[in-house]
Every structure is written in structure tokens, then in C-alpha cells.
Structure 1
Amino acid sequence: MKQYASSIKKGKEIIEYYLKELENDGITHVLRWAPPATPTVPIQIPVSSNRNVHSRKGGSNLSTSLPGSPDDKLDADWIRRYLGELTPMQESCLIRLRKLLQETHKGKIPKDQHVLRFLRSRDFNLEKAREALCHTLTWRKQHQMDHLLDTWQCPQLLCDYNTGGWHHHDKDGRPLYILRLGQMDTKGLVRALGEESLLRHVLFINEDGLRRCEENTVVFGRPISCWTCLVDLEGLNMRHLWRPGVKALLRIIEVVEANYPETLGRLLIIRAPRVFPVLWTLVSPFINENTRKKFLIYAGNDYNGPGGLLEYISADIIPDFLGGGCMCGIPEGGVVPKSLYRATEGLENEEVQLWTETIYKIASVSKGSPHEILIENTEASSVITWDFDVCKGDIMFSIYHSKLTPHPPKKDPLGSHGIMGIGVNNVQLIDKSWILGKDYSLVETSLTCREGESIQGSHVTRWPGFYILQWHYYSTPACTASSMPRMDDMLASLQVSSHKCKILYYTEVLGSQDFRGSMTSLASSHSGFSQLSNVTTFSSQSHSSSTISR
């Protein structure tokens, strides 16, 4: 009865909030709802599909429950325990954003904590948060960020000269990361390791921080979604203002701000020297205003005074090098020997070398200019597999078998790709003079793919020869104006497509002798996308598709 009364009260608050919104907009009358002319099948939206009974009891691993089960509810007790206090409007935005993601990402929704971070970073602007989160999910898949904690091996040189590490927690239970930036040879690390290795290490720290926040949420029994960073600037000098080093710092800030919003709870900068205002002038314009508000800067030894470290960190864990009694294992760093510096040419090519290690490619698809890739098959019963994401716009995906030999461009049609600044490609192989049914044939029914969807499937070849995988622009039919727009149409209107689309794709051919698993087709379309929730949900169809992937 207590839970029932709480639900009724919460529902009343939400209704009253939106009634007031209507009054503020000058709307005093709303037409009575009438059922649509054509019956539709109701859609069950699992607004909290990544929680189960164990997670309600405080477990850190959140798994997926079946749609329509009791665990599909965002109840008040769970919100207070794992998300904190939310207003009715904020809860409504969270549910609506999850609904939008469910419609496009098909069971690959991050945890509510991650969705809420993006909403908070955009002041609960639904469309801005959706766009930013979708970009991050694509970025995570392209660069395999979900596996970073398991795959990243910190270079020994960085282990020897790095001056940062985790150190207990602050008074709010947030994980505490200490960086002795003034003791770090930033120029030497950039010259010896390259910008990309440092970026990877910072991303690893952010992934590790998210994991530690989840653990502390369980330990302290309250939602902990961010961490505290303590930066000691003793020793900072003009060497730290070396231009390539500042450039590397700005890029790291840009990537972290875009993909890890609202993960920094507080930044304590202590022992700031006279040269600090110069550094601050260079980097502060690239830091989000909401993030800058979390900065607390102490010059000299003022950090020991009123409002200093003791207000945020317990005295028994103040590091020994700051006058506390807690032994801190964070190294002091040192100057990187110049004999370990890399050649300038290697540093210039570092971005391409690192970010092209991903198996995914990027291609553009515009109206009248489809993107096609050629697969030469030497035997029947081999399996062509694909995995692609529609990053922008709507496209049609088709597979053709050619009786003629296509002539791909002399330049590598797949090209190169990277985290940013690398151009996308568009290649056309089917000659305009070819006749469908004579020169080439359609071997799989064309599939319509919407923006944000992740598609995975396979095709078992029947004949040797040339197979062409094609993505071409899809124009959404105009809606009729005979009736008022449905809510689904209004939500779809938020995703206005242009005449240029972008895809992120990977293909592979498995020989018949090496094939193991169930044969599937385009019908097994939607598959796992992001593993932010630590558990990727597969339907029975997409699971069959996943068994044939590399």
C-alpha cells in the first residue's frame, strides 16, 4: 500500500507539472483523444530493462529483464538509491530519452546512470542529450572503448614516469584521483610516447573511474556518479607550456568533455604557481562552463586554510607529500631521458597508426551516390557477414551478385579512418549501363535502416563470382496531413535526415569449411551496440547472427 500510494503521488506530480506547462503556453483546451482508424499493436517500452532483482538489492552488475516484467518500473525507491533525487520533469526526460533510444538502438541502452549524465550535461534538453549520447555510442563502438579496461596495457615508460593514480575517496564517497602535474615531464612523455598513447591512458582512467563509482555506490548505499580530482601544481613551469604538450592537453579535454560528461564532481587545484594563469588562459575556453564551476584553485599553501582540502577530504587520507599522514604510492615522476624520444615523423603519423587499428570503416552515402563494396567469392556456400551502424540519415541496404567484373577504383576503396579529421569515402561499383536481372541480380531483399540503428547479419552464397554490398540513400515518404500527428511521428520528427548519410561498417567472408553456427539472413538485423551496461542483450535472432561474427 505504501508503494501504491507513492506511485499515485508521483503520477499526480507529473500530471500537474505538464498541466502547468500547457497553461504557460496559453493552451486551455485539448481535443478529446480518439482511437486511430487503423488498430495498432501496443508497444511495450522497457524503461529500465537493464535492472534485475539483484540490482535492487545493491548488486553492481545490472542485467536485462524481460519487457513487461515487474522490474520494468522506475520506482521511487530505486531512483533515490541509485540515481538520487529527481524532479518529475527530470524523471520524465529520463524515461522519454530511454524510449527514443529503445526505438533506434534495440536493446543496447546504457545504464540509467549514463543516460542521466548526458541529460544533466545538456540541462535536460532531450534532443541535445539524445544527439550527444548517440554520437558517444558510435564513438565507443568505432574505437572499441567497451573493451578498454581489459585490453589496455600501460606502456612501461608511462608507468615509470606517470605521476597520477587513485587514492581512497573523498568525504562524499567519490573516488579520489591525484595528479602531481607539476612533477610530470609532459614534454618528455609526449615526445617519447606520442599524443595518442596519452589519450588512451586518460580514457582508461575515465573508464576505471566509472567502475569505481559503481562500486562505491554499493559500498556507501547512495548514488555516486562522479569522482574528485586533486591536481598538485608544485613544480609547474614554462616547460609545461610547450606547444605540442598544450595541444595534446586540449585534445584530451575535447574528447573527455564530449564522451564523459558529468563524471567530474570536483577538481581541487593546489599550490598553483605564478605561471598557472598562463596555462589557465590557454585551456579554460575549451572547458565546459558547468565543468569550470567545479574547479577550486588554491595558490601557495592556502589549501591548508579554511575551505581547503579538509573540507572535502578526511585528514587521515591527506597524502604525505601534502603534509598529511597517509602514505601515498603515487610516484614523483622525473625527467624522461631524451634517448627515449621518438622521431618527429612517427609522432606526426601517430593518429592514423592508432585509430586505424579498429576494424570498422566509415563511408558517406548521399542522394544519388550509394556506397558499395566488392567481395570476390571463389566458392559456393561461403558466408558473407556484416555489421554496420547508421550514424546519420536513413539508408537502404542491398546485396547483389554480378555476372560482370566490376572495376573498383585504383585507390583503396575502403580508405582510412580515424577518431576525427579523417575524411569519409564513397565508392560506386555498379555501372549505370548495367541492367538489373541481366548484368547483375538482387540476392537479398533490400532492408530499410533508420538513423541510429545497428545492423548485423549474413548471407550464404549460392554461386562463385562477385558480390556487391550496397548502401544507398532512403527518402522517407511524406506524412499525410489528414489527421493529427501521432506521438511516434512527433518523436521521429526530431531525427530530421539530410541528403547526406554516414555509416560505420565491417564485413567479413567465412569459408564454408571454417563456418560454425546457424545460418541467418537479413532478417536477423539488430544486434549489440554498446556495452556501457556491461551486459549486451541479444534477441534470439541477433544471437544467431552473432555466432557467425569473427
Structure 2
Amino acid sequence: MSGEKYDDYNFPHTHPEGDVPEGHPGNVTEIQGAQVHQLRAKLEAQGYTTRLDTNTLLRYLRARKFDVNLAEAMYIKAETWRKDNDIWAKGTTLDEIVATWDYPEKPKIFEHYPQYYHKTDKDGRPVYIEQLGKINLTAMGKITSQERMLTNLAVEYERVADPRLPACSRKVGRLLETCCTIMDLKGVGVTTIPSAYGYLKKASAISQDCYPERLGKLYIINAPWGFSTVWSIISGWLDPVTVKKIKVLGSGYAPTLLEQIPAENLPVEFGGSCKCEGGCPLSDAGPWNDSEYLGPFFKSGANASGIKPAAVAPAPEATA
């Protein structure tokens, strides 16, 4: 089945010629192209009509080593989760939630667990910062519910797909599909993770099962003593492609971060020079809030809701 009716991209949608990994847009073999068509046909036959664009299906296929049956199962699991799980009310879909979501408790929540997107790295990708060492689930439970926290997490993942990555792609003039992540372990102790294990397990499952192939680089900073030894064991269990994306750093992490992230885009507390008014965690600064790089929302692949950000006029459509 043709992907033309789904591939109505309004942002750069292929990588430029050159060093493009196989299986990514711009370097797809004839066999991989056939696997995309096969996967789409199988899903259409089961009644699926959204998020069937080529780039989305390629992400599912890459996540499952181009095993069409495994990619199909992963896609169906994710689509089922969007419509039926224990996070949001029965009969409500994630697409509907994204269109109207409001999270006024965020400033209070961020006092106990900052998780935010902030500007871009030197490749133009969104930078995501998570300060795991500050997590205090007990305090957060007095502010909001775990269900609302997980819903907000899902909404933010949706906003990575649209408008964040399309806006970043328009700004650099090439396709961007991944984020640059900073995971700060400062303050993590023997009781931190166990006390929040249930929440973190659910959050991790959402990321791995429903939003594949979104990790570009991961910097684990302020790693406590002994973590490198543990990591050397864990990394042996992971896919080598994933391991190459991850760097474990101690307290002297700033020079390495600055190799990847411009100082003016990196918050001061992490060795950069950025001081957003009201604080970087709540600024949501980035191309996705600049009307120059915002276009009509992508209709069939990333965000089926088609809702545009309030008070932002769409920019002219970009070409690949």
C-alpha cells in the first residue's frame, strides 16, 4: 500500500545525503522499503488509519530490528494504550487529552522533580533535562495524582513529536527525530529510587513501548560512586547502538555537555550561561515556541489531533 496519503509532511522529512544510518529516512534499502509497505498494509487491514506515515513506521521497525511481526505488535500495543489504560478515564483517548491538556500544578511538581525540555543542542535537537535526584513522590502526591503525572508525561512525549521536532527540523533544514537528554543523578540515595520505583517503572514503560527511537544522546551526570561499575555490567546487556548514545559522567560533566550543547542553551546550574526569566525549567524555551518555525501540525503521523498552539500563527510550510 502506498504511503502517499499518510506522508503529508510539512517539515523536512529525510536526512541529507551522507552519513545516514541504514534504516533511517534517506537511507532505506529496497527490502526495508518493502517492509514498511508490508507493515502498513497489515495495520490498515486491522482498521488503523493514523500514525501510518513512513517515518513513524520506520521507527517501529528499527526498534524491532525490522521484524515486521514484532513491529506490528509494538505499534498495536502503543495504539491500544493510547485509547485504553489505567492512567486516564475510560472512553478518553490520548489524542483528545493532548488537545485540551492543562497542568497548572507543574511549578509545584517541579520543586520535587524537574523534567523539562529546554532549547536545543548543537545538532538542533531538543534538550530534555530530568533531575532524578530531587524526586519526592510523597510530596508530589500531596500536589497531584500519579495518574496526572503520567498523563502529563505522555502529553509531553506527544509534543516532542509535534510541535517540537518539526519546529527544530524546520530551523536546521533537515529531519530531526531524536532528543538530547541530560539525566542528573545528584542527590540520588539508597532510598530515592526504591521509593519511586512504581512510578518510574510506569514512566519508563511508556517511553520504551510507545515512543520508540527518540533517544539521540543521553548524558548521565553526577553519577554516584560505584555507578560506573554497575553501568559496565548493565551496558553489556544493552544493544550496542543504544550504548553508543549514552555517556556516564561524574561531577566534572560540564566540559562534555558543552561539547554538545551551546553554553547559551544550557542552564547555568549545569555549567552553561542560560538564565531564563522565571527559571529554565518552566520556560519551555525553544524553536517550538517561535512562530518562524511553527507550521501546521502534521496531520497523519505525529499528532492526529491537529490542534495548533494557542496564540501562535503558523509559519509558511517548509520544504525538505
TM-score, length-scaled by structure 1: 0.44
Instruction: Find the residue that maps to 1:202 and give its secondary structure.
Output: helix
Mapped partners of 2:272, 2:49: distance in 1: 48
Indicate conservation of the 8 Å contact 2:131/2:183, yes or no. Answer: yes
Selected match of 1:232 from 184, 193, 215: 184
* Residue correspondence of structure 1 range 321-332 to structure 2 within 5 A: 321-328=269-276, 329-331=279-281
Would the alpha carbon gap of residues 99 and 80 (structure 1) be closer, same or farther in structure 2, given more than 3 Å must change? farther
Provide the C-alpha distance between the structure 2 equivalents of 1:267 and 1:110, rounded to a whole number of angstroms.
28
Alignment of 1:279-290 (within 5 A): none
Give the CA deviation at 1:287. 7.8
Q: How big is the shift at 1:122?
A: 0.5
Aligned to 1:314: 262
* Alpha-carbon shift at residue 284 of structure 1 (Å): 8.2
- Unpaired runs of 5+ residues, structure 1, are 1-44, 61-76, 333-529, 537-550
Higher relative contact order (CA closer than 8 Å, sequence separation 6+): 2
Distance, in Å, in 2 between the alignment partners of 1:86 and 1:280 is 33
Q: Which residue of 2 aligns with 1:304?
A: 254
The 1:95–1:244 alpha-carbon spacing in structure 2 relative to 1, beyond 3 Å, is same
Question: In the alignment, which residue of structure 2 is the partner of 1:88?
Answer: 30
Q: Does the CA contact (< 8 Å) of 2:53 and 2:301 recur in 1?
A: yes
Distance 1:245 1:142, change over 3 A: same
Shift of 1:257: 0.7
| Number of residue pairs matched by the alignment | 271
The CA RMSD measured in Å over matched residues stands at 3.5
Higher strand share: 1
2:51 pairs with 1:103 = no
Tell me, yes or no, if structure 1 residue 256 matches structure 2 residue 212.
no
CA contact (8 A) 1:238 1:275 kept: no
Matched residue of 1:105: which SS? Answer: coil
Q: Name the counterpart of 1:51.
A: 7
CA–CA separation in structure 1 for the residues paired with 2:133 and 2:240: 25
Partner of 1:131: 73
Distance 1:271 1:224 in 2: 28
Alignment of 1:496-511 (within 5 A): none
Q: Structure 1 284/246 Cα, relative in aligned 2: closer, same or farther at 3 Å?
A: farther
* 2:166 maps to 1:214: yes
| Paired letter, 1:325 | S
Give, as a single letter, the amino acid of the residue that structure 2 aligns with 1:216: C
Change (3 A) 1:285 1:92: same
Tell me the SS of whatever aligns to 1:193: coil
Of the candidates 101, 110, 123, which is equivalent to residue 152 of structure 1? 101
Q: Secondary structure at the match of 2:170?
A: helix
Which residue in 2 is equivalent to 1:273? 224
Q: 1:531 to 1:162 in 2, by over 3 A?
A: farther
Structure 2 residue runs of 5 or longer lacking an equivalent are 17-23, 86-92, 283-298, 306-320
Structure of greater Rg: 1
Instruction: Please name the residue that 1:118 is paired with.
Output: 60
Residue-by-residue CA offset, 1:276-317 (whole Å, 9 max, x unaligned) = 579979x9899877545422110121x234xx1123212332
CA–CA distance in 1 between the matches of 2:29 and 2:109? 44
Offset from partner CA, 1:312-339 (integer Å, 9 cap, x none): 212332221122212152359xxxxxxx
For 2:50 and 2:270, the matched residues in 1 are separated by 45
How far apart, CA to CA, are the structure 2 residues paired with 1:244 and 1:193? 17
Contact 2:120-2:126 at 8 Å conserved across structures: yes
CA distance in 2, matches of 1:115, 1:314: 32
> What residue in structure 2 maps to residue 396 of structure 1?
none
Structure 1 residue 116: deviation in Å? Answer: 1.2
Whole-Å separation in 2 of the counterparts to 1:139 and 1:288: 25
Kindly provide the amino acid, as one letter, of the partner of residue 304 in structure 1. Answer: A
Distance (whole Å) between structure 1 residues aligned to residue 28 and residue 152 of structure 2? 34
SS, match of residue 198 in structure 1: helix
More helix by proportion, 1 or 2? 2
Q: Measure, in 2, the Cα distance between the counterparts of 1:201 and 1:278.
A: 34
SS of structure 2 residue aligned to 1:272? coil
- Alpha-carbon distance between aligned partners in 1 of 2:143 and 2:236, rounded to the nearest angstrom: 28
